[in-house]
Chains A and B, each alone.
Chain A
Amino acid sequence: MKKKLLGVIVVLTMVGTLLMGCGGSEDTSETGSADAAGSENSTDETYKIAFLPTDMSATFAAWLAQELENAIEAYPNMEMTILDSKNTLSTQLENLENCVTQGYDYIILHPLEPDAEADIVDRYIQEGTPILMVNQSDGGSEYASNVDCDPIEQGRIVAEVAAGKIPQDGKVVILLGPSGNSHSIGRREGFEQYLFEARPDIEVLDEQIGDWEKSKGMNFMEDWMQAYDQIDAVISMNDAMALGALEAAKDAGRDEALTAYGIDGLADAVLSIEEGGLTATCVQNAKVMAETTFEIIDKVLKGETEFEKTLIDGELIDENNVEEWIQIHKDNGQIK
């Protein structure tokens, strides 16, 4: 019985490899002919560009990848390959190394740990492969291009709205991202400067690490509502945790008595703002980020510059412009 099964599986695997093998060879022959065509018209060389996202199962990385694919269409002489780092630094470094050895013309790195990767990135650039670090700081890299949205700035944008809405002597709870995460630390700093220093009457009841997760935001809020009779605002370093806290507050009938602030501005957040749940959030516009990225790549490949570092502005989303953002997320497929 077991032998028979084994036999069947072996045969299936063989057929499978055979088929895959065929597919593979077809692919190579196609690119081969494309290359041949390219060398005939030797004037327009095709640039091979690699994008190394942090984690394609994360909503923002997926959105960024999609916007990069849209943005590259304006540059017919470029083609992009995506290699997922699966939220693991070692995988990202392996991918980076492979791309360099395979002779990619440009690498877009969406770094997991910019500070740890900066030196390696600089070395590869000096060896001849230009690299751009997107959606994170450049980690102190000297030669890498950088397109980022300043996290302190993101915190400021939401903090200023919160400073106007939280009542006198208000009591707030804070939800943080994973410990050591540079965006969580930066956003928290933005809130410190533009909310807590501007409004010293506000009391922070508790501050906990929710690891960006909705369920953790929910659990903390359930416990907090038992411990504190008055909570006027939930300040969260991302939207998911704020939305989790709102679910808990709704369940306890206390959501009307508080305002909630997040950062990210993805589909879940704008839908909640539309329903009157979340009060405000700040979005890092992946479309602008992607377009800026390719403008820089184009300049570098044309030899106009060696590298360029740009900060794009975060954008506030609240009840006043939520319709516009619902449309944007409908266009990019996040809201179906």
Chain B
Amino acid sequence: MKRTMKNHSKSYIDKYSTLLILLAMIIVCSLLSPNFMTSKNLMNILKQVSIVTILSFAQGMIIISGEIDLSIGSLAGMAGTYSCILYVATGNLTLAFLFGILLGGVIGLVNGFFVAVFELPSFIVTLAMQTITFGAICLYTGGNNIYKIGDYNVLGQGTVFGVIPVTVVFMVLMCVITHFLLKYTKFGRYIYAIGGNKEAANAAGIQVRKIKWITFVISGVFASIAGMILMGRLNAGIPSEGTGYETDAIMATVVGGTSFSGGAGSAVGTLIGSIIIGVLNNIMNLMGVESYTQKIIKGFLIIFAVLLDYKSKSKKSNVKIMVAAADENQSSK
């Protein structure tokens, strides 16, 4: 009885290990720089991580299902820029926004088609889609950027009630949606099941193909939303700005405790992982750390965070196995 209590508090700590890392970082940072703990600065951090975080929610769902999506970065660039083009042409923000989402959904549909129906490796399909989407936008713009996007920039620079940036509102909204999908819907439980063990999920009657397909469509839609916010923030349609974001998203997801082999992870964890990276970038800039040193420190912190998380997780599963073994011994007696 005593032991189970101890296990309980331990697993509690394990569960929130990434949150504890973040809290520890915040305490250290506020001691390091007097400019850190201001509401303006904290809001800046949230603003800066919002776009990568939204992409991370998409990447998180895909990774939990045991796949990967390398197209989200350039898809964000493409959908965002096309949406800008449509806005400049029509002046209708709703239309431009819906068009961006549609575009993201269609690309996701194509990704999902090849991954789910033909069972091609998602790594290859989405890598190919990365060059296709980037080519598709550059073909139209001829390498030029889209300027004078007018009020489109409210998507990235606007505020709600004059204080909360629209980008942060989007991030929180997407977090709630992802959390709801993963925790409270059949679809979410199926994603975990497929990522944990595809054959078992199939045997249990889950329509693996359909679920995977839907996951890629959601990923495409999320990427397009991130892209439109990015262009709004930049106050221009710049296709190349999206490229490379997919790796940042993978980083945030994994730091946030998502298992790279699928089957485990959460929206809140991803959010925390992304904020950890954002806080680190911010404090190093506040303190004027030289840029090459910044890269090295960032790399080490990420390894450290993942290591800590990995250690706590593997301990937990050891405990589980031991408990299960003990139970088995007991029942066999």
Contacts and interface: CB of A to CB of B under 8 A. Distances in A.
A305 interface: no
Nearest to B146: A336
B241 A213 contact: yes
7 contacts: A213-B241, A215-B234, A223-B41, A224-B285, A247-B157, A247-B233, A268-B147
A227 interface: yes
B128 to A, nearest CB: 14
Interface string A166-198: 000000000010010000000000000000000
A209 B236 CA distance: 21
Nearest to A240: B238
A251 interface: yes
Contact of B144 (A213, A220, A334): A334
Contacts of A271: 147-148
A218 interface: yes
A329 to B, nearest CB: 9
Contacts of B138: 56-57
A206 interface: yes
Closest 10 CB pairs of A and B: A62-B143, A223-B285, A57-B138, A209-B291, A226-B41, A227-B286, A206-B288, A222-B44, A226-B35, A208-B291
Contacts of B148: 271
Contact of A214 (B142, B238, B281): B238
Interface string B228-245: 001001111011110000
A302 interface: no
Interface string A306-331: 00000000000000000000000000
Interface in B201-237: 230, 233-236
A58 B241 CA distance: 11
Contacts of A176: 291
B197 interface: no
Contacts, number: 88
Interface in B42-76: 44, 47-48
Residues of A in contact with B, size category: 35 or more
B286 to A, nearest CB: 5
Contact of B235 (A59, A208, A213, A247): A247
B117 A5 contact: yes
B142 to A, nearest CB: 6
A59 B138 CA distance: 10
Residues of B in contact with A, size category: 35 or more
B292 interface: yes
Nearest to A56: B143
Contacts of B33: 227
Contact of B236 (A63, A207, A268, A335): A268
A333 B144 contact: yes
Contacts of B40: 226
Nearest to A227: B286
Nearest to A6: B118
A219 B143 contact: no
B48 A59 contact: no
Contacts of A57: 134, 138, 143, 239-240
B143 A2 contact: no
Contact of B48 (A213, A222, A227): A222
A229 to B, nearest CB: 10
Given A5-B117, A205-B288, A62 B47 contact: no
A218 B233 contact: yes
Nearest to B245: A215
A206 B35 CA distance: 16
Given A179-B292, A251-B157, A267 B144 contact: yes
A163 interface: no
Interface in B96-152: 117-118, 134, 138, 142-145, 147-148
Given A213-B241, A214-B234, A223-B281, 14 more contacts: A2-B117, A5-B117, A57-B239, A58-B240, A62-B142, A205-B288, A215-B234, A222-B44, A222-B48, A226-B286, A227-B285, A247-B157, A268-B145, A271-B148
B144 A219 contact: no
Given A62-B143, A333-B142, A223 B44 contact: yes
Given A5-B117, A247-B235, A268-B236, A227 B288 contact: yes
A227 B285 CA distance: 8
A59 B145 CA distance: 7
A244 B292 CA distance: 21
B247 interface: no
B282 interface: yes
B185 interface: no
A267 B147 CA distance: 8
A333 B143 CA distance: 11
